[in-house]
Structure 1
Amino acid sequence: MDVTQLAAVDSARAARVLSEVRSARLSGRPAPVAPRRVIEQSWERMLRNGVDPDHDVRADPLSREEVRRRREASALRHVLPVLREGLLAVADVAHHIMVVADEEGRVLWREGSAPVLRKADGLGLELGADWREDVVGTNGVGTPVVVRRPVQVFASEHFVRSQAGWTCAGAPLTDPRNGRLIGVVDVSGPLETMHPATLAWVHSVARLAEARLREMHLESLERLRAVAAPVLARLGGRALVVDADGWTAAVSGTGYLRRVTPPKSPAPGPVWVPGLGRCAVEPLAGGWLLRAAGDESAARGAARVVLDLRQARRWSVEVSGGAGSWTRELSPRHAELLYLLTVHRTGRTASALAGDLFGDPARTVTVRAEMSRVRRYLGAFLEHRPYRFADDTEVEVLLPDDPRGVLPHSTAPAVRGLRTSPALP
């Protein structure tokens, strides 16, 4: 009988068999049954990478602030309602927990049965924990990241001995826009509470979550199409509007192209598009305008950026240029960054911005990641090395009448200082 089937009728016996299989494999002796292929391949990776099967190694968990930042930046947050609806009700009754990790195997959400959550704490399966396969061994979070398909890991199929009383089933989640892995959803619990059908259940819910992402992508294309229609009508000539991943929202003067290679850099520049040839690039809210060279001037034209920080909890940037005008709401972090760049028109390095935001000039990785996101929609108007608004861009910032009300959420040292002695651009 297959061990996974045996676990459904006799979990204790299945655990003993799996323990014997693991011990035999690690000692080089013949095993009573062959390990499943996906497990055997994972064990081989662990042995090559020098993972110790008898010692529990845990990397430092992420800070609360970093967990929060990753949650806000991850597409996973959009599908949490689907995952919760599909998994949590059954998981809680069956003494399971749901774990959602990002593409690096870092645990960002963890919900379900309270007693099982406490047991998970003992295994190090906590918020911010690193559950990559090459860190903690074969498991239902890290192994699906490696093999890019659903995996169930029973008891001693876990490579590290301390996890032998645990069973988990995880499925990868991919972004339908570009096929990139965005994370893993996993259901975990003690061996005796699990069933072989758990994997199919988790996989099905993961597919529902991906379907929700596809719906959201179509909705975003509809919004971009509404922005693009008046722009294309005014400009004429051969052009198309695509989102950040190259999916076409609207075309003018040419045949429909389902998708093109998106610009490789947030900064505008010529790209080659089949059917259009060499095209100039301009940013639009949520995408890019690609205009065939030679039809009409594709120059950006006079550019004006207005940063509106007057409200307490809602901030925006309005852009006017050759492609018309558009407005985008800003996240709290992006509002902080753009405000600082309006103050420092000569530019700020990543290190200087890290000091401004966190009081720690070493936190450049976070700054660069956020500035990369900002430049996706303001790439035509921002320079880097150092980060600054382009010289030919007119910039205006609208602030509250009382400077103490500037970005009231912000704890950034530089913003706190500007509240008491604002340096207006």
Structure 2
Amino acid sequence: MREASLSGVAPGASAPGGSAPGAGPRTEIAASWRRTAARGLDPGADPQVALLTESELERRRADSALAPLVPQLLASLVSVVDAGQMVVVADTDGRVLWRHGKAGVRREADHLGFVGGSAWTEGNVGTNAIGTALVLGEPVHIQGAEHYLDSHTRWGCAAAPLLDPWTGRTLGVVDISGPSRSLHPAELAIVQMAARLAVLEIRDQHAARHERLRSVAAPMIARMDGHALVVDRSGHVVAASGTTPPTRISLPDAMSVGTIWLPDLGVATAEVLPGGWLLRLQDHDGGEPATDLVVDLSGRTPQLRVTGPSGSWQQALTPRHAEILVSLLRAEHGRTPAELAADLFADTTRIVTVRAEMSRLRKVLGALLEGRPYRLADGVRALLMLPEDPTTVLPGSSAPVVVALAQEHPGS
């Protein structure tokens, strides 16, 4: 059986990354192995991951923001398919939504359980390109023995996250996979290029929607005397009256017409516009801090709920932001970038990645989040809600802080 060691590679296998036999794994691979080992996965075991039902798979495909991009992704990667590799598009849960390849490589993938509806996060199947790209938020390639599970060492894969440049959220992953012997190192660059083309398409779509919203809102804004903002569905400000606006505000998931409360902005009256909202700001001290913050991990989708002096606000959390908040809520005196990197990646060197993630989280939490060290603001009362069986919290996550949380609160 392959040893889950960080000092070498699989017995009898070539060294990871094409280095000389006996050399240690690449830094990102070693960190991934540590995260996977902490989850308790046995390198010699066949992972048991429940597949999505056919109806749930079809629902996810239909609801996915990636659906319009799949034809373009396949067109940009047709040479890869012709060369005998398989193209896979997965969502942010690591679930395989689309597969495209010749019959031979699809049959080999079937033997690995790499099928529609399967989950390929690190927490489910260990080190692999889809799961590790989701963890790191950057393109990766995993070759042969760099996989954690013995059964995957004959496979090779390269994957890149698909990011929405407007919201900063990860939409999913595009992956090239196939037998390790036939995966060329250049395919990492190919999959990166495919992801960049998809991001450009997303950017163009957003820009067109903004222009339409701005043309509708301009006459309305011109007639206003008070403070008002026009925002798109993601909270990006496209026009303003009587105030110097931020570039983006955080909107609750359940936006509706009428009076709402927004962190940092206070009370506003919302009116629906085609593709966005008109927000009439009331005279209100937007500096009032929220007093209660709930991180609810009891359901399939992590949720953030904030209640302040003037109202309440709720928004879905990305898995990464949920992991960060778990870390901050467990740390009495906050976390430095290196400590957060250890909590999220088992790798204290990933400080740049941590800072980028914290910048995105600040756009959600605003004044509720402070730095040096990273922590919740004074006066914020925080509560972490877990499922009845805490071992199921964020099931696809391999973050050490999530693993530690589950071990501290075992299910009944």
Q: TM range, normalised to the smaller chain?
A: 0.5 to 0.7
Among 111, 119, 136, the alignment partner of 2:100 is: 111
2:126 alignment partner in structure 1: 137
The whole-number CA distance in structure 2 between the counterparts of 1:67 and 1:284 is 32
2:273 alignment partner in structure 1: 284
Question: Where does structure 1 differ by over 3 angstroms across 4 or more consecutive aligned residues?
Answer: 21-25, 229-238, 252-257, 270-274
Q: CA deviation at 1:204?
A: 1.7
The whole-number CA distance in structure 2 between the counterparts of 1:90 and 1:173 is 20
What does residue range 238-317 of structure 1 map to in structure 2 within 5 Å? 238-255=227-244, 257-263=246-252, 265-267=254-256, 268-271=259-262, 279-293=268-282
1:81 alignment partner in structure 2: 71
Q: Is this contact kept in 2: 1:91–1:113, CA < 8 A? A: no
The whole-number CA distance in structure 1 between the counterparts of 2:206 and 2:149 is 40
Q: Is this contact kept in 1: 2:9–2:22, CA < 8 A? A: no
Q: Is this contact kept in 2: 1:21–1:32, CA < 8 A? A: no
What does residue range 289-368 of structure 1 map to in structure 2 within 5 Å? 289-293=278-282
The whole-number CA distance in structure 2 between the counterparts of 1:114 and 1:18 is 31
Q: Secondary structure at the match of 2:167?
A: coil
Q: CA deviation at 1:189?
A: 0.6
Q: CA deviation at 1:115?
A: 0.9
| Residue-by-residue CA offset, 1:176-228 (whole Å, 9 max, x unaligned) | 12211111110001112111111111112112111211111111212222332
Cα distance change, pair 21–172 in 1 and its aligned pair in 2 (3 A): farther
Letter aligned with residue 106 of structure 1 = R
Q: Secondary structure at the match of 1:269?
A: strand
Q: What's the TM-score once normalised by structure 2's chain length?
A: 0.61
What does residue range 1-16 of structure 1 map to in structure 2 within 5 Å? none
| Residue-by-residue CA offset, 1:114-142 (whole Å, 9 max, x unaligned) | 21011111111110111111111111111
2:373 alignment partner in structure 1: none
Q: What's the TM-score once normalised by structure 1's chain length?
A: 0.59
- Which protein is bigger by CA-based radius of gyration? 1
Cα distance change, pair 234–206 in 1 and its aligned pair in 2 (3 A): same
The whole-number CA distance in structure 2 between the counterparts of 1:272 and 1:142 is 33
Cα distance change, pair 47–22 in 1 and its aligned pair in 2 (3 A): farther
Q: CA deviation at 1:175?
A: 1.6
1:19 alignment partner in structure 2: 10
**1:38 equivalenced with 2:31 (yes/no):** no
Q: CA deviation at 1:262?
A: 2.8
Q: CA deviation at 1:253?
A: 4.3
**1:102 equivalenced with 2:91 (yes/no):** yes
Q: Is this contact kept in 1: 2:9–2:15, CA < 8 A? A: no
The whole-number CA distance in structure 1 between the counterparts of 2:147 and 2:210 is 43
What does residue range 157-236 of structure 1 map to in structure 2 within 5 Å? 157-232=146-221
| Residue-by-residue CA offset, 1:41-61 (whole Å, 9 max, x unaligned) | 111111111101111113121
The whole-number CA distance in structure 2 between the counterparts of 1:253 and 1:241 is 12
The whole-number CA distance in structure 2 between the counterparts of 1:111 and 1:158 is 22
Q: CA deviation at 1:286?
A: 2.1
Q: CA deviation at 1:144?
A: 0.8
Identity level (%)? 43
Q: Is this contact kept in 1: 2:86–2:105, CA < 8 A? A: yes
Gaps of 5+ in 1: 1-16, 26-30, 296-364, 370-425
| Residue-by-residue CA offset, 1:138-182 (whole Å, 9 max, x unaligned) | 111111111111111111111111111110001111221221111
Letter aligned with residue 71 of structure 2 = P
Which segment drifts farther, 122-131 or 213-222?
213-222
Letter aligned with residue 19 of structure 1 = A
Gaps of 5+ in 2: 1-7, 285-298, 303-412
Q: Is this contact kept in 2: 1:280–1:292, CA < 8 A? A: yes
The whole-number CA distance in structure 1 between the counterparts of 2:120 and 2:272 is 38
The whole-number CA distance in structure 2 between the counterparts of 1:238 and 1:222 is 22
The whole-number CA distance in structure 1 between the counterparts of 2:281 and 2:107 is 60
Q: Is this contact kept in 1: 2:224–2:241, CA < 8 A? A: no
| Residue-by-residue CA offset, 1:2-50 (whole Å, 9 max, x unaligned) | xxxxxxxxxxxxxxx953387999xxxxx71111111111111111111
Q: CA deviation at 1:85?
A: 1.8
Q: Is this contact kept in 2: 1:58–1:130, CA < 8 A? A: no
